[in-house]
Structure 1
Amino acid sequence: MGISYVSSGIQLVALWLRKAKSAVVFTGAGISTESGIPDFRSPGGVWTKYRTVYFDEFCQSAEARHEYWFQKSEAHTEFAAAAPNVGHRTLAKWEASGRIRGVITQNIDGLHQISGSKDVLELHGTAREVNCLDCDARFPVDPFVEQFRATNEVPLCPECGDGRLKHATVSFGQSLPEKDFERAHQWCQAADLVISVGSSLVVYPAAGLPELAKRNGAKLVIINRDETGLDSMADMLIDGSCGEALAAIDAAL
């Protein structure tokens, strides 16, 4: 049974969104699982099947780089096949109409941009590109995944010749992208409404952003199938499908 747009909670969130001067949406894995992308932490996810390759290990060890590329090449199948769902499309619509300032996301799948969102702050980077750690060149990821699958050899940077290519995502032990995190911090300080969608809100420092907004006077709405780390702070909790909930709020606007 879907989420009804006539429910009082949905209607109240729609009212808050209509009145908001600076609304921000914060998204996590839950919005993308509805597009067929598995949560890395869920049973059968990459993190449960393989050992973690830490950033310093990737930098120092050719064997670790091979293991990293093996894992990323397997995960790439789901990313390549996935398409934005109604939740992504609703957020793109809200941004285009000025309802929200933009999207802050923990996701690395690029589905917000594919759906049409323009101002997306990717706190954990993107799996749609690779980045050379030695010359900082960036390239679309697909040709390098295909190369690895064909040769079983870690690809090298075509720009500088032998640079270490890594997906443009944040690995364990690697710093968050400073520019995006600083902008996200500014957005949340100025926000009067934050809607958290599909995040467990337990991974810091990212999860501290909705908390920052709340402590600065913003209303906090949490949409998630499971309990989150900030449920006790929320002004509204909506339990269920991210896409259905966002579509219901949109219908009530």
Structure 2
Amino acid sequence: MVKIVISDPAEIIEQRIAEVAAYVNKSRRALVVTGAGISCSGGIPDFRSSDGLYNLVKARHPGTVLKGAELFDATLFKDVNRIKCFYTFMAELKTLVATAKPTPTHKFLRNMQESGRLLRLYTQNIDDLEAELDLPAVQLHGTMASVKCTLCSASYAFSKEYVDAFRQGEPPICPKCEAIGEERSLLGKRQLAVGTLRPDIVLYNEEHPNGDKIGLQQCSDIKRRPDLLVVLGTSLKIPALKKFVKLAARTVHNNKNGITILVNKTPPTKEWEHVFDYQIMGDTDEWVRMTEAKLEDKPCLTAAWSRIQQRLKQQQLQQHSNDDEDEKENQAAIRLKKAAANEATTKRKSTGQTTLDNYRVSKRALSTSKPPSTKKMK
């Protein structure tokens, strides 16, 4: 893995950044996975900052002790106080999302699509900023653009009316369920359960309603043999996503010039050391800025690609040399083994030694041999 720290001096990282840009330029079937890190500059700050949403929710619901991660866990619906915290949090998040704008990273991905390099974009984000650029994305965790019923799964736009209700910690009644109830009441039928509305997102410990469809899409993309994998702004901690990224990386590495790139502010854990070829530590927008500059510099791209090919050729020559040395060692070991076997055979012949390995019993010899005498002695 090649490690690049964006904050390092340009003379240290410039060639490596140019090489990454050369790979991007050569790609024709890129898979991209994005996380929350690509949206921060668009107006959606880190939830855990001192003025972040977690602290805001805690201030409004001081009597409820709730960890940040628990706000995204499906088990919260078992507790009334946690439900109120959840809806307040979602109202504030929707307010931020409504004013957020696509970032340079989003625009870079749009350019990749327009240039024919992007095979598929998978996003963990629920901010729906991709839609503002008409950038089709597979929503791995749902979207804040809509709300859905907890009972009948009817879907509605996440309007200001629903935001105001959520902010009070109260889930609104589902209009479809309510209409069905009124109709049944007029007909004199018994009332059925009525659902409430919640954001159309997927929580921890919850099945994705489109999970099967997403799985089929991932299989289809893998079969198309992607030649580039770029992971942006995520530490890759969701088990299902980790599995997909590792599978995609193996597929990419089966291509002659296929490489994998991770861009994130925090370094990955050791399990990713042999998954990514380039680990770029820093802001995704800054990496995009540097990469776009290199993509516009054609002589720089040509020189970088030449260095890459020369390095690959040297690695191949070294591998062939290593293979030759291994073959020589194997042949030498075989010759030594044969020599030892021949020496042992010669020694047995000269000493008349017989071993069980050379011992054979003939049926004929047994059948023609005289049986021992059974005559009693006088």
Structure 2: which 5+ residue stretches go unaligned? 1-5, 59-65, 179-193, 296-378
Query: CA separation of 1:201/1:44 partners in 2, compared to 1, >3 Å: closer, same or farther?
Result: farther
Q: What secondary structure is seen at the aligned counterpart in 1 of 2:177?
A: coil
Q: What secondary structure is seen at the aligned counterpart in 1 of 2:217?
A: helix
2:29–2:118 Cα contact (<8 Å) kept: yes
1:25–1:197 Cα contact (<8 Å) kept: yes
Instruction: State the alpha-carbon separation in 1 of the partners of residues 170 and 206 from structure 2.
Output: 24
- Mapped pair 1:14 → 2:21: yes
Q: How does 1:196-215 map to 2 (within 5 A)?
A: 196-215=231-250
Query: CA separation of 1:42/1:109 partners in 2, compared to 1, >3 Å: closer, same or farther?
Result: same
Q: What secondary structure is seen at the aligned counterpart in 1 of 2:117?
A: coil
Instruction: State the alpha-carbon separation in 2 of the partners of residues 175 and 148 from structure 1.
Output: 23
Instruction: State the alpha-carbon separation in 2 of the partners of residues 37 and 209 from structure 1.
Output: 27
- Mapped pair 1:173 → 2:173: no
- Mapped pair 1:183 → 2:217: yes
Q: Deviations over 1:117-144 (max 9, x none)?
A: 12x0111111121111322221121331
Greater relative contact order (Cα < 8 A, sep 6+): 1
**CA radius of gyration, larger in:** 2
1:79–1:109 Cα contact (<8 Å) kept: yes
Query: CA separation of 1:135/1:195 partners in 2, compared to 1, >3 Å: closer, same or farther?
Result: same
1:93 Cα deviation (Å)?
1.6
Query: CA separation of 1:57/1:238 partners in 2, compared to 1, >3 Å: closer, same or farther?
Result: closer
Structure 1: which 5+ residue stretches go unaligned? none
2:235–2:268 Cα contact (<8 Å) kept: yes
- Structure 2 residue aligned with 1:28: 35
Bigger shift: 8-17 or 28-37? 8-17
- Mapped pair 1:128 → 2:145: yes
Instruction: State the alpha-carbon separation in 2 of the partners of residues 75 and 159 from structure 1.
Output: 25
Query: CA separation of 1:45/1:231 partners in 2, compared to 1, >3 Å: closer, same or farther?
Result: farther
- Structure 2 residue aligned with 1:244: 286
- Structure 1 residue aligned with 2:103: 85
- Structure 1 residue aligned with 2:74: 55
Q: Deviations over 1:203-238 (max 9, x none)?
A: 221133222111222521011111023244211122
Instruction: State the alpha-carbon separation in 2 of the partners of residues 15 and 36 from structure 1.
Output: 31
Instruction: State the alpha-carbon separation in 2 of the partners of residues 152 and 239 from structure 1.
Output: 39
The Cα RMSD (Å) is 2.7
Q: TM-score, normalised by structure 2?
A: 0.59
| Number of positions where the alignment pairs a residue of Structure 1 with one of Structure 2 | 250
Q: Deviations over 1:41-85 (max 9, x none)?
A: 566654675442532442x55554333212211222322221111
Q: How does 1:62-81 map to 2 (within 5 A)?
A: 63-81=81-99
- Structure 1 residue aligned with 2:173: 156
Instruction: State the alpha-carbon separation in 2 of the partners of residues 240 and 207 from structure 1.
Output: 21
2:86–2:169 Cα contact (<8 Å) kept: no
1:124–1:170 Cα contact (<8 Å) kept: yes
Query: CA separation of 1:17/1:67 partners in 2, compared to 1, >3 Å: closer, same or farther?
Result: same
Q: Deviations over 1:170-197 (max 9, x none)?
A: 1121123412344235424632211111
- State the AA in 2 paired with 1:173: N
Instruction: State the alpha-carbon separation in 1 of the partners of residues 222 and 46 from structure 2.
Output: 25
Q: What secondary structure is seen at the aligned counterpart in 1 of 2:200?
A: strand
- State the AA in 2 paired with 1:7: E
Q: What secondary structure is seen at the aligned counterpart in 2 of 1:233?
A: coil
Query: CA separation of 1:152/1:42 partners in 2, compared to 1, >3 Å: closer, same or farther?
Result: closer
Query: CA separation of 1:41/1:202 partners in 2, compared to 1, >3 Å: closer, same or farther?
Result: farther
Instruction: State the alpha-carbon separation in 1 of the partners of residues 274 and 52 from structure 2.
Output: 28
Q: Which has the higher helix share?
A: 2
**Identity score, percent:** 29
Instruction: State the alpha-carbon separation in 2 of the partners of residues 164 and 142 from structure 1.
Output: 15
From 139, 157, 160, the equivalent of 2:156 is: 139
